[in-house]
């Protein structure tokens, strides 16, 4: 959570209305980290200990789960050493301090989940849960029957063998093909590497779903909260 004004903090903890909270502050009944505070401008974060009439007041850290449609040209991290735009620039209106669950390449667009729930993120990114991820891609060339079989069986990439994946040709003009690719892992640039391996490099890559969460008609650069059903569907995968 970012810093917020003391009276807002007290109100959001459900202690009093914001106006009443201002009165409490003026009356000298509020302390921050042991110090009585009577001015209104002070800001607090979740790390501060706020007391009203000697009793600590705490804000339950609200857990947030967000689906973002990441455009190309944003980096999936909280900060970038080269000063590029990050996905956090797209969720500035979210009060909580969220972070991306896994990643999408700078040049990939589509569904990216963000949360402030570390357990949730761990569960989704741990290979043992094998959460299904679906991509739509435009490829150079036309994947052969043999290439599709190799996708199913597993491809040797760098030092690992990919787990069974699926490639379905949606349409092709003989030179360029639109395909749907389903994988259950999330290794670095995995889809691009798999497509290179079968001789059909990726021209465009979009992630359209993760488990039961789909991009649907979410506009590029926009986000929405996950529904309870979507959140629970990941918890059920334990
Ligand atoms: N595979 C890739 O190659 N890139 C992504 O961004 C996601 C999966």
pLDDT along the chain (238 residues), means of 10: 82 75 93 93 88 85 91 92 93 88 96 90 84 97 97 94 97 97 94 97 98 97 97 76
- Nearest-5° Cα angle at 180, 171 to 168: 65
User: Where along the chain do its domains lie?
Assistant: 4-56, 65-127+213-235, 132-210
Characterise 55 by phi-psi region: left (phi > 0), alpha (psi -120 to 50), beta (else).
Answer: beta
> Tokens at residue 4, please?
């917020």
Name residue 31's beta-bridge partners: 36, 51
Task: Tell me whether the CATH fold assigned to 4-56 matches the one assigned to 65-127+213-235.
Answer: no
What is the rounded distance in angstroms from the CA atom of residue 169 to the CA atom of residue 142?
8
Q: What is the pLDDT of residues 55-83, one digit of tens each?
A: 998 876 678 999 999 999 999 988 888 88
Provide the pLDDT for residue 14.
Answer: 66
Provide the pLDDT for residue 238.
Answer: 43
pTM: 0.78
What is the rounded distance in angstroms from the CA atom of residue 205 to the CA atom of residue 192?
8
Provide the pLDDT for residue 53.
Answer: 92
Cβ–ligand 1 contact at 80 (below 6 Å): no
Nearest CA to ligand 1 atom 3: 189
- Longest CA pairwise span in the chain (Å): 78
Provide the pLDDT for residue 20.
Answer: 82
Distance from Cα 230 to the centre of ligand 1, integer Å: 22
Provide the pLDDT for residue 97.
Answer: 80
Please check whether residue 116 is in contact with residue 99, taking contact to mean a CB–CB distance below 8 angstroms.
Answer: yes
Provide the pLDDT for residue 130.
Answer: 85
Distance from Cα 202 to the centre of ligand 1, integer Å: 10
Counting from 1 in the atom list of ligand 1, the atom nearest the Cα of 194 is: 3
Give 92's DSSP letter. Answer: T
Give the class (CATH, top level) of 65-127+213-235: alpha beta
CATH of domain 132-210: 3.30.70.1560
Provide the pLDDT for residue 1.
Answer: 55
Using CB atoms within 10 Å of the CB of residue 68, give its burial: 0 to 12 exposed, 13 to 18 middle, 19+ buried: buried
What is the rounded distance in angstroms from the CA atom of residue 136 to the CA atom of residue 210?
12
What is the rounded distance in angstroms from the CA atom of residue 39 to the CA atom of residue 30?
10
Cβ–ligand 1 contact at 150 (below 6 Å): no
* Element housing 123 (H / E): helix 118-125
Please check whether residue 204 is in contact with residue 214, taking contact to mean a CB–CB distance below 8 angstroms.
Answer: no
Please check whether residue 207 is in contact with residue 111, taking contact to mean a CB–CB distance below 8 angstroms.
Answer: yes
Cβ–ligand 1 contact at 108 (below 6 Å): yes
Nearest CA to ligand 1 atom 7: 104
Q: Does domain 4-56 have CATH number 3.40.50.970?
A: no
Task: Reduce the DSSP state of residue 55 to 3 states and report it.
Answer: strand
Do β-strands 4-5 and 50-52 pair in parallel, antiparallel, or remain unpaired? unpaired
Distance of CA 70 to the CA centre of its chain: 10
């Amino acid at each position: 959570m970012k810093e917020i004004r003391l009276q807002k903090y007290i109100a959001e903890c459900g202690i009093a209305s914001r106006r009443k909270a201002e009165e409490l502050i003026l009356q000298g009944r509020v302390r921050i980290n042991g110090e009585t505070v009577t001015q209104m401008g002070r800001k607090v974060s979740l790390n501060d200990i706020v007391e009203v009439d000697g009793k600590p007041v705490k804000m339950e850290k609200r857990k947030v789960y967000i689906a973002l449609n990441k455009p190309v040209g944003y980096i999936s991290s909280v900060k970038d050493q080269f000063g590029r735009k990050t996905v956090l620039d797209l969720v500035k209106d979210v009060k909580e301090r969220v972070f991306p669950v896994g990643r999408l390449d700078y040049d990939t667009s589509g569904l990216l989940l963000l949360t402030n729930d570390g357990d949730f993120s761990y569960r989704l990114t741990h290979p043992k849960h094998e959460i299904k991820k679906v991509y739509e891609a435009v490829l150079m060339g036309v994947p052969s029957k043999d290439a599709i079989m190799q996708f199913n069986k597993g491809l040797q990439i760098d030092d690992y063998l990919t787990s069974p994946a699926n490639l379905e040709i949606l349409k092709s003009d003989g030179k360029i093909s639109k395909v749907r690719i389903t994988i259950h892992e999330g290794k670095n640039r995995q889809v691009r590497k798999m497509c290179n391996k079968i001789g059909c490099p990726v021209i465009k890559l979009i992630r359209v779903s993760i488990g039961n969460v789909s991009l649907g008609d979410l506009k590029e650069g926009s986000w929405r909260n996950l529904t309870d059903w979507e959140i629970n569907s990941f918890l059920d995968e334990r």
